Structure 1
Amino acid sequence: MKLVVFGANGPTGRQVTAQATAAGHTVTAVTRHPDTFPPGGPRLRIEAADVLDGMAVERVVAGQDGVISALGVPYGREPVTVYSAGLTHITRAMTVHGVRRLVCVSSTIMFDVPAPGEGFFFRKVLEPFFARVVGRTVYDDMRRMEEVVRGSDHDSTVLRPAGLFDTDEVSDYRLAPVRLPGRFTSRADLAHALVREAVTEGHVRAFLDVRTTEGTPRLLDMIRKEAFGS
């Protein structure tokens, strides 16, 4: 299958391209900085394009069988538009070129329900602090992005992971249309779910939690990394 991956040069995007090519799919990795992308085999094509450039997006979507968006930006105070503007350009390009399958990433926070199995401090203090203060601009734009996807007529699936961390191996992760217990999702598991959904009929018009259940990091370590970059 021919897949185009946006956000390919990020940590999740690199996992997606590696897993997809290893599975025998042909991948177009889209990045603003192609010179920094690791070389791949004959199934990998690297294209320089900005998801905020509608014409460039149309060019790389042409001829594809499916689209994976692994777009991501760090927390910050400045307004974020990458998710919503990017998916606006992507869905328009898909319509122009007749591409149906779309899989993209938002966050488990988009379920808008309390974290199951968590205590008062996590549910009422810690997670709201990240959702409404530290990551407010990111999550606001993720909501706009989900509305763009929801309003399109493509065969779309949105994956909503929890706190992302790095591992080399795919685990026996959980996937469900409701918010799952647990605090973390490995990028390897997220990438695996993105590729699997993109190359199958998958869960069309669904919003799915992806949750890693083994080998997860300590919460304090994740807080330090996400909030303070240490």
Structure 2
Amino acid sequence: MKLTVFGATGGIGREIVRQALDAGHEVTAVVRDPARLTVTGDRLDVVRAGLTGPEELRSAVSGRDAVLSGLGARSRKDAGVAARLTRSVLGAMEAEGVRRLLVVSAGPVGPAPEDDGFLDRGMRGLVSAILKDVYADLREMEAELARSGTDWTSVRPPRLQDKPLTGRYRTVVGGFPRRGRFIARADVAHAMLAMIDDAGTVKQGVGVAY
């Protein structure tokens, strides 16, 4: 497949690029600073773009089978970037007639498992309060997805870890795995690539965790 990856220098984005290349896909990585992208490959095309609007992104998504995005706030002070940058990506995709989009959101943005224990409910509430602005940004991003004409999927992980790929994790369409507290960035990337052709995840939020 021909894939475009936004946020390719971030932890999840970099893993998407690496794993997609290993799987034989053609990858266009859209970055603001190409020097920060450490992944290389014969089927990799690196495009420098500031993500200021859809027009500069149209050539990066034109003719692609799917677009995957790891865009989002890296700290609380960056809150607002996920919705704003995703809006530009959506504009470019709709202008070019590209439909499949998968993005990274966060577990607390979606519904909690009905049978979550006291500890998990408490931790979820605490984290949501601390990162209130970040999660508000992600909710607005998901609202932008819902208003769009794309075949989107919002992947919602819990606390992220820098650990090796396992390929073993749980997913819940429209919900979240019970007691799902951690997942490696590499496995989030793996899940996103696996969902590209999964019709059951289209226009859905998908919780993913160990």
TM-score (norm 2): 0.91
Q: 2: CA distance between counterparts of 1:187 and 1:66?
A: 20
Q: 2: CA distance between counterparts of 1:83 and 1:179?
A: 21
Q: 1: CA distance between counterparts of 2:88 and 2:20?
A: 23
Select which of 167, 170, 177 maps to 1:174: 170
Structure 2 residue aligned with 1:49: 49
Does the alignment pair 1:36 with 2:32? no
C-alpha change, 1:12 and 1:34, in structure 2 (3 Å) is same
Amino acid at match of 1:3: L
Identity %: 34
C-alpha change, 1:60 and 1:36, in structure 2 (3 Å) is same
Is the radius of gyration larger for structure 1 or structure 2?
A: 1
Structure 2 residue aligned with 1:160: 156
Give the alignment of 1:61-210 within 5 angstroms. 61-76=61-76, 78=77, 80-113=79-112, 116-120=115-119, 122-124=120-122, 126-133=123-130, 135-177=131-173, 178-181=175-178, 182-201=180-199, 203-210=201-208
Shift in Å, 1:19: 0.4
Q: Indicate the SS of the match to 1:164.
A: strand
Structure 1 residue aligned with 2:60: 60
Shift in Å, 1:34: 0.4
Moved more, 91-100 or 108-117: 108-117
The number of equivalent residue pairs is 208
Amino acid at match of 1:166: D
Amino acid at match of 2:65: D
Shift in Å, 1:199: 4.6
Amino acid at match of 1:132: A
Shift in Å, 1:115: 7.7
Shift in Å, 1:59: 2.8
Amino acid at match of 1:136: K
Q: Would you say the 8 A contact 1:196–1:202 is kept in 2?
A: no
Q: Indicate the SS of the match to 2:103.
A: strand
Q: Indicate the SS of the match to 1:109.
A: helix
Q: 2: CA distance between counterparts of 1:70 and 1:140?
A: 17
Structure 1 residue aligned with 2:20: 20
Amino acid at match of 1:102: L
Q: 1: CA distance between counterparts of 2:190 and 2:118?
A: 30
Moved more, 192-201 or 100-109: 192-201
Q: Indicate the SS of the match to 1:210.
A: strand
Q: 1: CA distance between counterparts of 2:206 and 2:66?
A: 18
Q: 1: CA distance between counterparts of 2:75 and 2:59?
A: 30
Q: Would you say the 8 A contact 1:176–1:209 is kept in 2?
A: yes
CA RMSD of aligned residues (A): 1.8
Structure 2 residue aligned with 1:219: none
Q: Indicate the SS of the match to 2:196.
A: helix
Moved more, 8-17 or 166-175: 166-175
TM-score (norm 1): 0.84
C-alpha change, 1:6 and 1:200, in structure 2 (3 Å) is same
Shift in Å, 1:170: 2.5
For residues 99-156 of structure 1, the C-alpha deviation after alignment (integer angstroms, 9 at most, x for no partner) is: 0111111111012436844324x423x33232122x1111110000000001112111
Amino acid at match of 2:36: T
**Structure 1 portions without partners, runs of 5+:** 213-230
